[in-house]
Structure 1
Amino acid sequence: MSSSEPARRESGIPARLWPALLLFGLSSGLPQPLVDGTFSTWLSKAGYSTSELLNIGYVTLPFSLKFLWAPLVDRFVPTFLGRRRGWILACQLALIAGLGAMARLDPRANFVVLLAAAALVSFAGATQDLVVNGYTCDALPREKLAAGAGLTVWGYRAAWLLSGGLVLSVAGDERFGWSGAYGAMALLLGLGVLGTFLAPEPTRVTPPATLRATLVVPLAEWRRTLGLRGLVLLVLFALLYRLPDMVANLLAVPFLAELYDLSALGLYRGVIGLAGAAVGVGLAGWAMPRLGTLRALFLFGLAQAFSNLGYVGLVDGRWWSGTSGLVGVLFVENVCGALAATAFVAYLMSFCRSGSAATQYALLTTVTLLGPHLLRGPIAEVSERLGWSGFFLLTTALVLPAFAPLWWMRRTLAPHAAALPK
């Protein structure tokens, strides 16, 4: 490679792809907390009960149902910016409009309209997720998926923490409130738009000829390559592996908001969370080639589950309290969460073929998000009955069913991911 070609690496991957993936992760991570945990905190401060918050949380269902329209995204090409970037830009513009509307509404006076705006944000955010995942699978060769997943996971978790941390800090300032906080998030999505124009459009991928080819052919290929047993194990793994972290996050922010000032909580969640996520992604990138993917999934899964015990220690100052306790819990939880998320995303992407990657990855992640949604009702009752300590202990125990399919996958699926065509 000559010095006149600094924009390309030896692998043939444009250098601008890497910062674009980071910005795509940032753009993908912003919406969901703003209609889930952060939204729940806003409504909690407005007087809604825990049971009402968990039921209102069904507004995030598009993140679980996005597989329904994923074939449309894989099949049809927008008339601007290409097959992947055109869809991404359309989603980002819808997100900016939806968040801007939420910033102008009062949760008591305009509740129905606020929910409608949140539903728009949820639908556009879910669609952006599946297109970004499809873009990552299309743009990178298999051996670079772990690196690409690491960048998008860090960007995603960084945005998750900003929209669940920076928002709280801004909202806690009387000069800005929730309106200013959500308006700031709409402006922050401009970085995602920058990533869209920075990213190269994958040129080697031909869209499926029909909607049937978009959905049926990839499923048939999974069935043929993995076998029925392997396919069932893959689905169970996608459903159960992230449950300890995702279920804990349903109520982690409202729990912490009872103990700490909103401004301080937002600042610490943002700064400490970003640092912890960066450490976790870096450790995952270093450890996965040395441990092997399945061994890493075991170890990182244990870490993500047991990190929830930190919240138990904060209840009534049982083991630790104050700022030092908060900082320690947030750092450990984000390191462990990033470790597990990086290994999880890289492993699932290894089963997605180029061309229909958005649909395949959407199907797998839909299964992942289905668990927390199905558990919302029971969790509402259990959390009120067991209290905070019981709730977070329960999320730690969820590692047991999560490991059952992973144990059987050691021999069943390990040889097959590499055999699937990229």
Structure 2
Amino acid sequence: MAAVMEGADLRTTPAAPAVSAKRPWRFWAVLVALYVAQGVPSYLMIMTVPAALRAAGMPLQQVGMLSILMLPLVLKFIWAPWVDRLRPLRWGHRRGWIVCTQVATVVSVVALAWAGPQAPIGLIVGIGMCMALSIATQDIATDGYATQQLRSDELGRGNAIQAASVAGGVLVGGSLAMFLVEHWGWYPTMGLMALLCLLPLLALPWMQEAGPGANALASGKDVQPHRASIRQFFSRPGVWTALGLAVVYRLSEGMLRSMESSYLLHSGLSLSQVGLIAGSGAAIAGLAGSYLAARWLQRRSRAQVLLGLSSLRVLAFVLFLLHSMQWLGGAVPLAVLAVGLSVQRYMEMVALYALFMSTASRRQPGTDFSILACAELTSYMLSSMAGGFIAKQFQFTGLFATASVIAVGCWLATYWLLQRQTAQTEDVQAEAPMVVGSADT
């Protein structure tokens, strides 16, 4: 019985009592600052640095080596338990981690400025790996903080902030930084980005780790009641269902996403038009999608939203298929479809991460959330790799047809897993009164 209660999170149950206390604006400002703090340097490294190195004459195969910097985001669950266990500074558990990692990120950006775009690729990759490790570790601490603090009715808004911050990272660390590199040069741009990465630290004095969302077993103190571990995650009931959702939900998405820009170019759009759609257009769509998902989650359950978005994905993939068969017009409908798919992607991110947070234990929130997020990212990346192979063998029409069929399968799997999760939640609710009663005696 104790294991059942340890695995339960009352945020997932409709019977959980609502907390009417209104959050102060400082709480939401802290979440915005924390997620922007990792979004800007992330897209600086993902979008701006490769483009600047290529423009400076670095060979394409060397620029491609920067893809290894994705590894920390895929493997961060390995050291996530240490972030949940250890308190590096006296200023607070997760606040201490965020201070350390943000300073490391700023130092890495300054090191990039010092190295310059003509530096050997080994040096660039080394600096980038330090930055990627600090961003991934900060992500563990930030997600752990958000998971502990957010109530059930706040998960939609909290994860909308996370998704919108990704869009902000695309705009500032990606589109703006690339524009500034072209007009200002490498060194002033990197200096400005380092300064921008420091600004979120100003919000940390408002970051309070004790409060209505803090771990009740910690009695208001910033301590962990047990030794966080990956094994603890897998020992809890119901987590295999959530892990299955993490793996299958966006399995078909990466397949189309990896080839989307290539298909836009293939269909007659110019490179600048594709860049606008994939950069600023996607970021603005991300802000819109984050808002729409948060509103939808206020009115419907997470299961209904996830299934609805999965249905929209099937529809979008079928429309791409029809366009590839020349049944859906030319470049303008395709551009509208691409932007609409970007809106849908961000909506999925909000709903899926809200599910992850509701599943994660507040005893080791960073570990649990990281395991689920890494599983989702790994599935997405494998799907992306498969997309390139399928497009090469069967052209874009074959790719979109395959993605549509897999998307239907993902919808069916999502429906079954969500039904299973609902049944498991009801079992936990049924067990809870007996456990509470025995504890009282």
Q: TM-score, normalised by structure 2?
A: 0.76
**Pair 1:217 & 2:232 matched:** yes
CA distance in 1, matches of 2:54, 2:399: 18
CA distance in 1, matches of 2:416, 2:105: 40
Instruction: State the partner residue of 2:145.
Output: 135
- Structure 1 residues 68 and 194: CA distance shift in structure 2, 3 A: same
CA distance in 2, matches of 1:372, 1:256: 21
Instruction: State the partner residue of 1:4.
Output: none
Is contact 1:37-1:250 (8 Å) kept?
no
CA distance in 2, matches of 1:315, 1:96: 48
- Structure 1 residues 265 and 93: CA distance shift in structure 2, 3 A: farther
**Pair 1:365 & 2:380 matched:** no
Please give the residue correspondences for 1:18-417 in structure 2 after superposition, counting only pairs within 5 Å.
18-42=28-52, 45=55, 46=57, 48-49=59-60, 56-106=66-116, 109-171=119-181, 173=182, 175-177=183-185, 180-202=188-210, 204-205=214-215, 206=218, 207-209=223-225, 211=227, 213-220=228-235, 222-223=236-237, 226=238, 231-250=239-258, 260=270, 271-304=280-313, 307=316, 319-321=329-331, 326=335, 328-329=336-337, 331-374=339-382, 378-379=386-387, 381-382=389-390, 384-385=392-393, 398-416=406-424
- Structure 1 residues 373 and 188: CA distance shift in structure 2, 3 A: same
Give secondary structure in 1 for the equivalent of 2:362.
Answer: coil
- Structure 1 residues 279 and 408: CA distance shift in structure 2, 3 A: same
Give secondary structure in 1 for the equivalent of 2:105.
Answer: helix
For residues 328-377 of structure 1, what are the alpha-carbon distances to aligned partners after superposition, in whole Å with 9 as ceiling and x for unaligned?
A: 35531332112111111111111112131101001111111112444565
CA distance in 2, matches of 1:78, 1:392: 48
Output the amino acid matched with 1:412: R
Structure 1 residue 86 displacement after superposition: 1.2
Give secondary structure in 2 for the equivalent of 1:131.
Answer: helix
For residues 124-182 of structure 1, what are the alpha-carbon distances to aligned partners after superposition, in whole Å with 9 as ceiling and x for unaligned?
A: 111111111111111122232222112222122222343332233334x2x33455554
How many residues are paired up? 399
Give secondary structure in 2 for the equivalent of 1:413.
Answer: helix
CA distance in 1, matches of 2:394, 2:325: 13
- Structure 1 residues 376 and 266: CA distance shift in structure 2, 3 A: closer
Structure 1 residue 61 displacement after superposition: 0.6
Structure 1 residue 60 displacement after superposition: 1.0
Instruction: State the partner residue of 2:439.
Output: none
- List gaps (5 residues or longer) in structure 2: 1-18, 433-441
Is contact 2:314-2:407 (8 Å) kept?
yes
- Structure 1 residues 179 and 303: CA distance shift in structure 2, 3 A: farther
Structure 1 residue 315 displacement after superposition: 12
Instruction: State the partner residue of 1:5.
Output: none
Structure 1 residue 285 displacement after superposition: 2.1
Output the amino acid matched with 2:184: F
CA distance in 1, matches of 2:36, 2:69: 21
Is contact 2:257-2:384 (8 Å) kept?
no
Is contact 2:256-2:384 (8 Å) kept?
no
CA distance in 1, matches of 2:419, 2:380: 28
Computing the radius of gyration from Cα coordinates, the structure with the larger value is: 2
Structure 1 residue 47 displacement after superposition: 5.5
CA distance in 2, matches of 1:296, 1:133: 22
- List gaps (5 residues or longer) in structure 1: 1-8
Query: What root-mean-square deviation, in Å, do the aligned CA atoms of Structure 1 and Structure 2 show?
Result: 3.7
Is contact 1:164-1:269 (8 Å) kept?
no
Output the amino acid matched with 2:248: L
Structure 1 residue 395 displacement after superposition: 5.2
Give the percent of matched residue pairs that are identical in Structure 1 and Structure 2. Answer: 21
Give secondary structure in 1 for the equivalent of 2:340.
Answer: helix
CA distance in 1, matches of 2:175, 2:71: 23
CA distance in 2, matches of 1:98, 1:388: 40
Instruction: State the partner residue of 2:14.
Output: none
CA distance in 1, matches of 2:389, 2:190: 30
CA distance in 1, matches of 2:382, 2:134: 22
